[in-house]
Amino acid sequence: MNKEKGVLTVLSGFSGAGKGTIMKHLLLAHPDTYNLSISATTRYKREGEEDGREYFFKTRNEFDEMIAQGEFLEYATFNGNSYGTPKAYVEKLLNEGKDVILEIEVQGALQVKHLYPDCLLLFVTPPSAEALKERLVGRGTESEEVIAERLSISSRESSLMDKYDYLIINDDLDEAVEEVHELIQREHLRTAHRKNMISDIQTQLKQFSDI
Ligand code: 5GP
């Protein structure tokens, strides 16, 4: 039987909801199971980040050229910077039957759902708005102004939460990681991800159809 395509998962969530931490722990717990797509961005490189690890850092011209060449699966603007998912890498892995996770914001997530209706959309949130604010303040890395801006973006993003398939409430990190893992694994059982299996059984059963 031919290998089924991999499951494409899109993980979004408010800034400070802990989606990056969930991803890190998921990849540590299941290093051979999941592949995280690395996006291209025009934003500046933060301290500790490396080109090709967190992002492929691009100039505006390079990013626009990638758009013109049709290299993105989706792209969007967030807080004044452009972010895009390289198409070739994602499609190659999915065709090889590997599971791919995109950690992207809401506009891009909805573009992906449109292109891949069978993808799994997960939205990460803390248990309350107050908890979100506390986490952003607790990081101690952002000014009050930046925190206010992030919260205002979150408020706008929250209007699209109900477009997602599942909500991951990141209260207990280990539980949230396990939930993401289980949801992706369960996705493999859906008929949409068993097309080859279905067609094989149909072919095998044809021999009995004339009796
Ligand atoms: P940051 O600048 O904090 O790394 O990311 C800002 C936002 O952009 C986050 O919500 C992150 O998930 C999102 N993001 C990262 N890569 C992509 C991408 O390729 N496409 C889209 N649409 N959003 C992205």
Ligand 1: list residues with CB < 6 Å: 39, 43, 74, 76, 78, 83-85, 103-105, 107-108
Structural domain containing residue 135: 8-206
pLDDT tens string 3-57: 899 999 999 999 999 999 999 999 999 999 999 999 999 999 998 999 999 999 9
pLDDT tens string 161-204: 999 999 999 999 999 999 999 999 999 999 999 999 999 999 99
Residue 1 falls within a domain, yes or no?
A: no
Residue 2 falls within a domain, yes or no?
A: no
Residue 37 falls within a domain, yes or no?
A: yes
DSSP characters over 112-178:
HHHH-TT-EEEEEE-SSHHHHHHHHHHH--S-HHHHHHHHHHHHHHGGGGGGSSEEEE-SSHHHHHH
Residue 3 falls within a domain, yes or no?
A: no
Residue 84's nearest CA partner among 59, 67, 65, 101 is 67
Beta partners for 55? 39, 51
Q: Domain containing 56 — which CATH number?
A: 3.40.50.300
pLDDT tens string 114-159: 999 999 999 999 999 999 999 999 888 788 998 999 999 999 999 9
Q: How far apart are CA 157 and CA 159, in angstroms?
A: 5
Q: What is the dihedral of CA 74, 75, 78, 81, to 10 degrees?
A: 160
Distance 102 CA to ligand 1 centre (A): 9
The ligand 1 atom nearest the CA atom of 107: 22
